[in-house]
Amino acid sequence: MMPVSHAHPDTAPHDGAAAALALYAGVLAAANLSSAAHRLVTQLAQDGGYERVTMALHEAGRTRLLASSELNMSNPQAELAQLLLGALQEAIEQGMTLSFPSDDAAADELPCDWILLEHRRLQQHVGGAIATFPMGIDGAVFGAVCVERHAAERIDASERRWIEQLLSLAGPALRWMHFGEQAWHQRLRRALAQTLAGLRQPQRRATRLVLLAATAAVAFVALVPLDDAASGRARIEGAQQRVLSAPSDGFIKIAYVRPGDRVAAGAPLVDLIEEDLQLESDRWRSQLAQHENAYAAAMAKSDRVGASTSFARVNEALAQLALIEEQRTRGRIVAPFDALVVQGDLSQSIGAPVRQGDALVTLATTDRYRVIVDIDETDIVRVRPGQSGKLVVSSLPWEHHDLVVERITPLAKVVEGRNVFEVQARLAQAAPGQLRPGLLGRADLVVGRRPALWAWSRHVLARVQLAWWAWKG
């Protein structure tokens, strides 16, 4: 076969373009990178009349032989394989086409002789002429092709340009195939590298600033420890609550208060009807008069037995009258302390019967409160007495109140389909006048410090761990 260097200058460009397209089509027809590389070196050796064409792949700082037209690839440690690999690596490191022996035009392009050391060693081993062509796009070299001609002709500049033209289309195709066969983490790393390279462009300054701010925000929430809080619904109750019940069977006469009213100590709350007690009192007063008369008559007759009996009956009547008077006094229910009425609207129950012990009015203190916080079962293990927190009530969302945990109820209850524990806390400072028992809100109890990202994902991780444990059995 006639060497390419002997082609006519006028027809070489057209023949070169057709040969490049044919080589490109053969590469694209291959099923994988190894097959495509083998087709390339075989076709190039055939078209150019070369004794051997070898291709190497360069990635992650390492170079390895990929295909050769006349070389046993099963032993990459053989002397010839190592010499070929050295020549290919030499061209890849320099990023330029190298040939040996060089013609005058090529010698003028090279900065000094030392960059051909590996080529000289290979040429001394195989004889003839060799040339190595790095392949890459946008300055990134990913491989190289080495051609050998064992005849005496040198590989001149026109022949090198012809080979470069052949590789102009096949090289990018091989790189795309190589990228397609890489593992997912390698493709991801390459995509990140390309993205970072694009961000270095001057016109991407705004994008760089946005990404920098987003990275700083993510780093902040992922690394900077902040207060970690266990949250739950909260309600305010009086520190002291008292239920006032009916002292005896009777009927409601007057209701002086309704829920929400503030009352002072001793203020009347409810009056019960006392007509039955008045009749009972009149009956015992009549009996008292009879027993006193009987006692006086017995004393006048010096009847000691009759006097003793009458005297005992007089004392009985007096005791019954005292009891009735006490019951009449207790028929008016009064406030035992300054309080707020939280339950007991009896204004619509005037005349209704009540039995002894029935709850009538519930009072709560107005100077001291306690806060009951419902904490989810996934957070209760981290709550301890003495921890601090914040309370926000729904009616006053712009005000925060400091809390101190006092005790934890050891029994859970179901609220809206969730298991919760009641945590009792107190206000760290005196309660403002706007607060009152019965208000609802939300409380955050500080249970430690951790980055916000881990605090937000804690519940999800706990559910996943529980599901994993249940699945494993």
CATH at residue 440: 2.40.30.170
Is the N-terminal amide bond of 101 cis, ω within 30° of 0?
Answer: yes
Statement: residue 277 has pLDDT above 70: no
pLDDT by residue (tens digit) across 114-160?
478 888 888 888 888 899 999 887 777 889 999 998 876 788 888 88
Pick from 44, 103, 48, 39: which is nearest to 67 by CA? 39
**33, 181: one domain:** yes
Domain count, the chain: 3
Statement: residue 331 has pLDDT above 80: no
**157, 282: one domain:** no
Helices 157-181/33-48 angle, 10° precision: 170
Domain contains 209: no
pLDDT at 178: 78
The residues near 178 (Cβ < 8 Å, ≥ 6 apart) are 33, 57, 59, 142
**27, 130: one domain:** yes
Put residue 128 in one of left, alpha, beta given phi > 0 → left and psi -120 to 50 → alpha.
left
pLDDT at 146: 93
Supply 381's token pair: 């293990």
pLDDT by residue (tens digit) across 349-404?
888 888 888 888 888 887 788 899 999 888 888 899 999 999 999 988 888 889 99
Domain contains 225: no
Domain contains 172: yes
Beta strand ranges found along 207-280 (DSSP E): 225-238, 241-245, 250-255, 262-263, 268-272
Structural domain boundaries enclosing 316: 241-363
Beta strand ranges found along 278-417 (DSSP E): 332-334, 339-343, 353-354, 359-365, 369-376, 388-393, 396-415
CATH number at residue 270: 2.40.50.100
What DSSP designation does 127 have? -
The whole-number average pLDDT for the span 49-65 is 87
Q: What is the mean pLDDT of the chain?
A: 82
Q: How confident is the model at residue 214 (pLDDT cuts 50, 70, 90)?
A: very high
Name the least confident of 259-273, 320-334, 449-463: 320-334
Domain contains 321: yes
Domain contains 220: no
CATH number at residue 155: 3.30.450.40
C-alpha span between 294 and 377 (Å, rounded): 76
**378, 357: one domain:** no
C-alpha span between 296 and 285 (Å, rounded): 17
Domain contains 213: no
